Amino acid sequence: MPLQARLTITGRVQGVGYRDWAIATGLRLGLSGWVRNRIDGSVEALIVGDDGAVGIMIEACRRGPTLALVEAIDVEPVDLDILPEGFTRRPTE
């Protein structure tokens, strides 16, 4: 079973290209999942893949794209029955 994690990223992470960056990074690492802005100003992502790639993605999310200023990242393990395909953008929630 692949590793699954839900990330909540806070700081200056909206309006800086974070979602596009996360999608490109996730695809490059061979991950599946999704990313979306949250109404509270954070970014939420679900990432699924092998342990090494998930770990690299989490560390990359601590930095984010050039214009982002990540203050904190919360990583929560999840256990989904149905895994996402591809890496997509979801609507703000």
Do residues 75 and 7 touch, judged by C-beta distance below 8 A?
yes
User: Would you say the C-alpha torsion 22, 87, 73, 2 has a positive or negative sign?
Assistant: negative
Active-site amino acid positions: 19, 37
